[in-house]
Structure 1
Amino acid sequence: MPLDIDEILRKKKAADAAAAKPKFIPKAQREKLAAEKLKQEADEKKRKAEEEAKRRTEDERKWAAATNGDATTPNGVANGVPTGPRSYHDERGGGRGPGGRAGRGGRDGGRPDDRRSAKKDEKNAGDKRSQEDVERQQVMARYLGPDVNKESTFSAKKKRMRTMDKKFNFEWNLDEDTSRDTDPLYAAQTANRGSTLAGIGGEFDREAEERAKKRAKMIEQRDVEHGKERAIGIMEDFYRARERAQQRADKTGLGRHWSEKDLSDMRERDWRIFKEDYGIATKGGLIPNPMRSWKESGLPPRLLEIVDQVGYKEPSAIQRAAIPIALQARDLIGVAVTGSGKTAAFLLPLLVYISDLPPLDEYNKNEGPYALIMAPTRELAQQIETEARKFASPLGFRVVSIVGGHSLEEQSFALRNGAEIIVATPGRLVDCIERRLLVLGQCCYLIMDEADRMIDLGFEESLNKILDALPVTNEKPDTDEAEDSRAMQRYLGGIRYRQTMMYTATMPPTVEKIARKYLRRPATVTIGNAGEAVDTVEQRVEFVPGEDRRKKRMQEILASNEFGPPIIVFVNIKRNCDAVARDIQRMGWSAVTLHGSKTQEQREAALNSVRAGQTQVLVATDLAGRGIDVPDVSLVMNFNMAHSIESYTHRIGRTGRAGKSGVAITFLGSEDTEVLYDLKQMLSKSSISKVPEELRRHEAAQSKPTRGGGGGAKKEESGPKFGGR
């Protein structure tokens, strides 16, 4: 039968369809195909290597023949080819030349065909063995798992390169040094290469002018005919562009620092930079801008003269932010580190407030003071009284302190003629109120200094009694009107709205609760980071266990003459005060003690002797940790670490005050594990302090301890009660 073309096409189409279908290949066959493919690749590489070796040998032979020419060797061989009778003899197999039996492989070499067949058999056997090895390894890997003892060839860097080669990387390589200080490209680059407004004036302007002059001089030298005219044109263009840029800078306010501007030229950006420079953060509605200097503070001229006489040349950060807010009769919460000038920050607005009220006379002197300042300790209250008299006495205002340790008769005698300002501790003030020695009928200005310390000492109940004794007819409304300065400065039947301020170093929950209850829409001013030590104090930590070793180490520090008096040494227990003071006296230093068992006269005498320079070292408990201002303390030594990080912060705050630098050395032991974590965090945040390696690696410093359970909870409950007593 003749061939049918349709049948042929149909069969071809069916064959193509069958070939196009995916064919299932078992795993064993796939592995076998993979092994064969690997073997073929190895054979190919081996063949190429042999060809390369053969080609190299042939090239070397040709090179040797070309180099030797037709010279004959001593054995009668010319160009490596046997000649003469010797070659005939070797060809028959009797000699040792290239054609003899020894030259062809020796006695065991045999004929070339035999050698080639032997090599082929050996190659086939090796290929068979390699295929069997591959199959055996695959079977073992399938049923026994991978060989974990085999050295891994995994490289994370190669893996990262394979996965990231097609992805766009937004960051630079960590191995590269991208700093401009070490890059030669930027070695000769000037500070201002562009024509931005930031380069107008000062050093940048002079550099730009020098570059323009240099360019003009170069053009003048190269162009003989028209160079001078071109140089003059270049300088005229430069001066014209600089003048336009200066006009734009004056118009927009950019290009100059806030210190070079008038108050009317300050923009929002300038105030933001000003706050960042002084670490000022504010929260609340309608807060005024801080003051840049005493002249721009808005204080009366007479008060500014007193400020200058006292010696306050430049306001501190808390004074810059708090005084404008307080002058608007706003309630205020000031959070600032110790030693930042908080006393003057609330005294100056207080004196402005009292100046607008009628003076005390025979009719209203028995109605109580105009202002009340509360402090947690007697020493701090007397310190505030001393500072307040510097400003109040020249204005004709009287300041009286009511603290424990003095008789009530003496304090009531001091109140017989009335006082505009009273500085008191909560406990003694409650006694005076309950005994009817004092009323607060016209007290419209309340300041709580170190409010967190008053809560720690258990004065929360006393604070509530005092605040409840204040008049309620002039309380501020808890509405948006409390943020309006004009509304808050209005008189209500001859009396103004009550103004309440709270200054603290930390904000525990109890203090926040009191603030929410008695303050109305307060403005919050935070200087730096709350609860952190100032950057002017260098903190050093040493692990020195045992009393004897600490005394020896203390003697070494004092004998080094690195620190001059006055020096403050803190201990935790009262009886340790006298023991440590006696040891310091044996070392040749004069020392006094300050703790709770001392009478008020003894406390005042000890502080006055240190302030006057009569005594070199003050040994104290946490009683001196808050608010005690001893000028120019060079060293604070924690003979015993404080029980809490807050107490530690206030201890080391006795040095490095008013912008001066100081050092704090702390001895640690096994009993201080609960505060090691917080201590490490505080040291790591300080820019001038270093975390010692022993503290960094200590187990207790790795995580914050959990304060729960029986013993710890009991201790915390009993703390405020005993502190208040």
Structure 2
Amino acid sequence: MAANGTSGKAKRVPIDIEQLLAEKKAAEEAAKKPRFLSKAERERLAAETARKEEEELEQKRKATAGRNRLWDARGQSEGYGQRDNRNRDAVPTGPRAMRHGGSSNDYSNSNGGDKLGRNSHSGQRPDQRGDQRGNNKGNGNTAGQKRLAPEDVDADMIRARYMGPELNQSTFSAQKKRKRTGGQKFNFGWNDEEDTSQDWNPVYSKRVDRYTGPMVFDGLNDAEVEKEYRRRARMLEERDPEHGKERARQMLEQMERQKEKSKSKRTRNDWKFKELVDMRERDWRIFKEEFGIASKGGHIPDPMRHWGESGLPSHLLQIIDQVGYTEPTPIQRAAIPIALQARDLIGVAATGSGKTAAFLLPMLEYISQLPALTEYTKDDGPYALIMAPTRELVQQIESEARKFATPLGLTVVSLVGGHALEEQAFALRNGAEIIVATPGRLLDCIERRLLVFSQCCYVVMDEADRMIDMGFEEPVNKILSALPVTNEKPDTEDAEDASVMRRLLSAKDRYRQTMMYTATMPPAVEKIAKQYLRRPATVTIGNIGEAVETVEQRVEFVSGEDRRKQRLREILLNGGFAPPIIVFVNVKRNCDSVAREVQNMGFSAASLHGSKTQQQREEALASIRSGAKQVLVATDLAGRGLDVPDVSLVVNFNMASSIEAYTHRIGRTGRAGKSGVAITFLGSEDNDVMYDLKQMLSKSSISRVPEELRRHEAAQQKPAARGSR
């Protein structure tokens, strides 16, 4: 022991963990690196691998031989006898042997099996029985068959002990299952007997049936066929003096029969020529699709195909003919039959679709059946009330109503701001059956006791969404609450029964009928409709909020006032558009400025905005309608409901602040089925409406989305979505 009391051996140093981890990491990286072996090294590794495999196989053979000797010893001790050893290689018998092709003789020598599933006469081991079962499935020869591994033998013995012998094994394969092909497939097309369009295909319209007569005239119309018949008839008379007249007569009779057959076939297969009683559900469906009519709300009558089917009295039909209404518009086709049943109605249609006549004509028919106003009843108020959002629209409806009401002896009075209240009270002194008014002035008259609605039984709200946008929701509710409650409709199924709704409640009125016409349906409008309309029918023409298909929309990126004025000059001086032309701006002060610029270009122009007096506004509209002025420069005041005939071009000098206002602006052209063009100038200040504008242009079949708008960042998603990121 050393002097300091410690052992003489060297002190053990603890294991360095970091060193071990570094060595392990180095070994792993070395193992990951590819090794390049020589040919001799590869041959040595292959020989070593083959030697190891042979040793493993030899060990398995020795283990199997030892297991066989143990099995033979167990057989001797249990008394199987020498017969079992002699017949070890014999074909097994019993039910399993029969299943795999065993002989009947073998089966007759079987004596059942023990608990391990062995055949009592053979004493075979499970490994041999497995080999022989595999042979029996083939050709019955045991030579050359691979013996089971020891672990498979043990598994077979355990399975046979606890589960019994293997019996009926299914050979079903889902992959081999045949697919059923006999089922009928659903057919999305029409049945042949329902098709009413084949005979009106242009290919067949001029062909004469070959089996209806001796002559066929391919490619000729009816007049040409008749001319050819008569020519041949004359030839027969000339060439056959004896029988020519008789043959010619028969030929002409054949021609008449052919014409009658063609006429009956035509009326049977086209709704335009069918009688009303012959119209089928499919014909009405085609008719509605053609005009874009969609309706809902209980028992809806079929739309009218022409004025004769409208159900209007003859004196109104005569006035319609005198006014020049030849064909009804889609909203008139659908709404008038419903309104004539005294149903409440919500009409949703694009601007310029003829909504005014759609509610005026049923209203006049309704009022004409009521007693005429007398000295005692004229102070009880009008029979009908029409509300509109702007003064110009009220005066336009008044002018249209007088075309029909004056011949019937009815009085129409308008109440708008900008005129003296005393003057309008003087107009009401003798009473009026119809009053057209803006909500503000009408509420003013009610509060001043200048007007009551004791016998009002017909209410129309035109451009209801625009009234709400202009802040008239509260005045509209006050006006509707001032109407009498004695003639309100019940909120039951009786509100859909025309016979009940048209019944007189007293000597002068019936149930009140309420109609609402709008281009869109915001929540505020739906709230008013739910409160004051009873079981209304809803008619929608086209898609809500979309521009009409007769307007070609063009978009140009032009920034700055000066550049826009220069571009406006180029468009007007191009001469491609005939007056009247409407130019829309957003700010009142720009309205007069642009109007002066247009006048400097050599065009006569008028301006229209909210700061103008009522007289100036009326003069501006009158001048553009009469043709005294060529260009009207206006704000959104002229963008809703105004009807200026034959407007060929609308220019949005400033893009509207919303897509709804844009839709109504461009609706000033392309009215009543005519075509028109709308050109819009865009700038960086219009980012909020670019997405909606691109969507609207995409839906139009005659408009094109410019590439600059398509790729613009602001047009890729809605402004709300951009702000939420």
Q: What TM-score comes out, normalization by structure 2 length?
A: 0.67
| More displaced 10-residue stretch of structure 1: 578-587 or 501-510 | 578-587
Q: Is the 8 A contact 2:349 2:544 kept in 1?
A: yes
Q: Is the 8 A contact 2:267 2:274 kept in 1?
A: no
> Which residue identity is paired with 1:307?
I
2:588 to 574, 579, 587: 574
What is residue 447 of structure 2 aligned with on the other side?
A: 434
Alignment of 1:186-205 (within 5 A): 198-200=197-199, 204=204
Matches within 5 A, 1:434-513: 434-494=447-507, 495-513=509-527
Greater Rg over alpha carbons, structure: 2
SS state at 2:559 partner:
coil
User: What is the one-letter code of the residue matched to 1:528?
Assistant: G
* 1:81 corresponding residue in structure 2: none
CA distance in structure 2 between the aligned counterparts of 1:268 and 1:631, rounded to whole angstroms:
37
Tell me if the contact between 2:295 and 2:540 (Cα under 8 Å) persists in the aligned partners: yes
Residue in structure 1 matching 2:417, options 374, 383, 404: 404
Task: Give the C-alpha shift of residue 211 in structure 1.
Answer: 9.8
Q: Partner residue of 2:675?
A: 661
* Structure 2 partner of 1:295: 308
1:462-496 alpha-carbon deviations (Å, 9 max, x no partner): 00000000000110001111000000000112220
The answer to whether 1:424 aligns with 2:437 is: yes
- Pairing of 1:526-605 with structure 2 (within 5 A): 526-605=540-619
Structure 1 runs of 4+ aligned residues shifted over 2 Å read 4-24, 193-203, 205-217, 246-251, 707-710
Q: Secondary structure at the match of 2:431?
A: coil
1:705 aligns with 2:719: yes
2:322 equivalent in structure 1: 309
Provide, for residues 20-56 of structure 1, a one-character-per-residue CA deviation record: whole Å limited to 9, x for no partner. Answer: 66999xxxxxxxxxxxxxxxxxxxxxxxxxxxxxxxx
Q: Which residue of 1 aligns with 2:350?
A: 337
Shift of 1:209: 3.5
Residue aligning to 1:519: 533
Q: Secondary structure at the match of 1:260?
A: coil
Question: In 2, distance between residues paired with 1:216 and 1:338?
Answer: 51
Aligned residue among 692, 695, 717 for 1:678:
692
SS in 1 for 2:720: coil
**1:667 counterpart SS class:** strand
Tell me the residue number matched to 1:188: none
1:539–1:690: 8 Å Cα contact kept in structure 2?
yes
Compared CA separation, residues 699 and 205, structure 1 to 2 (3 A): closer
Q: CA deviation at 1:588?
A: 1.3
Gaps of 5+ in 2: 1-84, 91-123, 133-142, 153-177, 181-191, 218-252
Compute the RMSD of aligned alpha carbons: 3.6
- What's the CA shift string for 1:478-515, capped at 9, x where partnerless? 11110000000001122200000000011111101100
* Match 2:646 to one of 626, 632, 635: 632
Opposite residue 451 of structure 2, the aligned amino acid is: L
- Contact 2:606–2:633 (8 Å) recurs in 1: yes
Contact 1:317 1:340 in 2 (8 A): yes
Q: Which 10-residue stretch deviates more, 10-19 or 354-363? A: 10-19
Partner of 1:689: helix, strand, or coil? coil
- 1:8 positional shift: 8.4
Does the residue aligned with 1:413 lie in a helix, a strand or coil? helix
Contact 2:654–2:681 (Cα < 8 Å) also in 1: yes
Give the deviation of 1:276 after TM superposition: 1.1
- Unaligned runs of 5+ residues in structure 1 are 25-165, 169-192, 218-238, 711-725
Question: 1:211-265: per-residue Cα shift (whole Å, max 9, x none)?
Answer: 9999999xxxxxxxxxxxxxxxxxxxxx99xx99x989969x9951001111121
Summarize deviations over 1:665-686 as a string: whole Å, max 9, x none: 0011111111111111111111
> Structure 2 matches for 1:60-459, cutoff 5 A?
198-200=197-199, 204=204, 207=207, 209=209, 255-459=268-472
| Inter-partner Cα distance in structure 2 for 1:352 and 1:606 | 34
Distance 2:400 2:327 in 1: 17
Structure 2 CA distance for aligned equivalents of residues 557 and 629 of structure 1: 23
2-structure distance, mates of 1:265, 1:300: 23
Deviation of 1:288 (Å): 0.7
Checking the alignment, whether the CA contact within 8 Å between 1:198 and 1:255 is kept in structure 2 is: no
Quote the Cα distance in structure 2 between the aligned partners of 1:297 and 1:215. Answer: 43
Mapped partners of 1:198, 1:438: distance in 2: 57
Evaluate the alpha carbon distance shift between residue 614 and residue 284 of structure 1 in structure 2; reply closer, same or farther with a 3 A threshold. same
CA, structure 1 residues 566+21, in 2 after alignment: closer, same or farther (shift >3 Å)? farther
Q: Secondary structure at the match of 1:258?
A: coil
Look up the equivalent residue of 2:326 and give its one-letter code: K
Pair 552,195 (structure 1): closer, same or farther in 2 beyond 3 Å: closer
The alpha-carbon distance between structure 1 residues 551 and 356, as it changes in their structure 2 partners (threshold 3 A), is: same
What letter is aligned with 2:366?
Y
Q: Does the 8 Å CA contact 1:329/1:485 hold for their aligned counterparts?
A: yes
Task: Name the aligned partner's letter for residue 270 of structure 1.
Answer: D
* Paired residues of 2:197 and 2:270 also in contact (CA < 8 A): no
**Compared CA separation, residues 211 and 22, structure 1 to 2 (3 A):** farther
Secondary structure of the residue aligned to 2:452 is: coil
